Amino acid sequence: MKISEKIGYGLGDTASNLVFQTLMIFSTYFYTEVFGLSVYLVGFLLIIVHSIDGLSTFFIGFLVDRTNTRWGKFRPYILWFCFPLAFFSCLAFTTPDFTELGKFSYALVTLVLLTITYSLLNIPYCALAGYLTQSPQQRISLQSYRFSLAMLGGLMISAFMIPMVEWLGAGDEQQGFQLAMIVLSSLGLVFFLICFYTTRERVANEHMSHGSLKQNLSWILSNPECRFIAFICFLILLAIVIRNSVTLFYVGYYLDMSAQSSLFLSVGMIGSIIGSFSTQHFSKYIGQLGLYRTALMVCALISCANYWVLQDQFYLALVFNFGLSFFLQMGSPILWSMLADVADYAEEQSKIHLTGAVYSVSQVSMKLGIALGGGLSAWSLGMFGYQADSVQTETSLHGILIVYTIFPAVLLAFIAYLLKFYKLSIK
């Protein structure tokens, strides 16, 4: 594959992360501090939205596996849904002048439209990688480019979202978020179009048949490798979302450094970008699976150590944020390479088109992790006594610390342990 095609494909995830990272980092903050919902309603909102999105994902994968156009099987979805995604992204971060019930209903509808549209674009985008090349080495290289550029999207959100909100809103955060999303969505639209026009599907599996939705799901859910990778996807997103959802609360309330929030987020994203590029190098020494397990254990240890960082030790917390982001993102290209291998294995064993279905099941797992992670983080803050836009008690501050450090550490260590049971050899 040419480097230009790898970059073009990666820009698709830059665009995706302009939406995804905004949702991961800012959803809880936006809907409590800016939009005006209670922390408990936000918990219910996130669980309902991502659960609906997760259920729809089954049907999206089934649809994708039956798509055949002059542009290929997966690429057309990038072209068809990049415009609606930009539109719904702007609507979701617009604050209407409604009652709390009206606001909740508005947020529910716009977020469901946004997340389903995102899935209609992102599931084919993710599956596309397996059809650009069959070379295991090229797949790892492609995923490294992809995740490095994905984190570039995250870096743009981390570095520029808060300053853009302040500048465009001129003190009005509601207007600031709306205008910032208009700018970022427009940029993402350009990146999606570049992705569409610079990639080509080369791998063809025309000899395979199409099963029914019931047959596809039955085969995947009865296969231990597919179930295993789906469970890993669920756990990893659960850990990431719990941590990301409370990051701004940790910086703004626990460390009392809200003015440095952009710096804190940006340093983490820089660590993620470097980690993505490091995967191929370090995997030469201990193998991909060994590297993934090691990286997750290091992340768990860093997260535990972060619990003991004092409230006046901002720069030590910054270092830990960089380190955890570096090692966590080092494993992401490996996880997606594992997914491609599982999809290949599924099609080889079943002799039917299952790539879209495998990716849709993994995405369902991820979205359930996102749903539960968003809900648990919001409800945990409420249980510890968090009050929006108020001086926090010692109990609520300690709660923010526990959710930010201990919860993710336990999950990451558990995932590292589970990976010892992964049976497919990573090519």
Q: pLDDT by residue (tens digit) across 327-365?
A: 998 888 788 778 777 777 776 766 666 666 677 778 788
Q: Does residue 394 sit within a domain? A: yes
CB neighbours of residue 81 within 10 Å = 21
| For residue 416, pLDDT beyond 60 | yes
Q: Which of 81-90, 337-346, 365-374 has the highest mean pLDDT?
A: 81-90
208 confidence band (pLDDT: 50, 70, 90): low
Q: Which of 214, 227, 219, 230 is nearest to 347 (CA)?
A: 219
Q: Does residue 285 sit within a domain? A: yes
- pLDDT at 306 (0 to 100): 97
Task: Let me know: does 386 contact 399? Beta carbons within 8 Å.
Answer: yes
Give the CA count within 13 Å in the CB-facing half-sphere of 280.
14
| For residue 150, pLDDT beyond 90 | no
Q: Does residue 207 sit within a domain? A: no
DSSP class of residue 421 equals G
**Range in 116-125, 275-284, 320-329, 371-380 the model is least confident about:** 275-284
| For residue 427, pLDDT beyond 60 | no
Q: Does residue 41 sit within a domain? A: yes
Q: Which of 112, 113, 108 is nearest to 98 (CA)?
A: 108
CATH number for the domain spanning 347: value is: 1.20.1250.20
Say how many domains are in the chain.
Answer: 1
| For residue 108, pLDDT beyond 70 | yes
Distances (CA, A) of 342 to 66, 106, 189, 332, 414: 19, 39, 31, 15, 21
| For residue 168, pLDDT beyond 80 | yes
* The model's pTM: 0.80
167 confidence band (pLDDT: 50, 70, 90): very high
**Range in 9-13, 96-100, 156-160, 202-206 the model is least confident about:** 202-206
- pLDDT at 318 (0 to 100): 97
Task: Let me know: does 331 contact 295? Beta carbons within 8 Å.
Answer: yes
Q: Does residue 148 sit within a domain? A: yes
What are the residues facing 69 on neighbouring strands?
72
Q: Does residue 411 sit within a domain? A: yes
Question: What's the domain range around 134?
Answer: 3-200+212-421
Q: Does residue 427 sit within a domain? A: no
pLDDT above 90 coverage of the chain, percent: 57
Q: Does residue 218 sit within a domain? A: yes
Q: Which of 134, 181, 129, 139 is nearest to 13 (CA)?
A: 129
- 266-310 pLDDT per residue, tens: 999 899 888 877 877 787 778 888 889 999 999 999 999 999 999
What are the residues facing 25 on neighbouring strands?
none
- pLDDT at 342 (0 to 100): 79
Round the average pLDDT of the chain to a whole number and report it. 88
DSSP class of residue 69 equals B
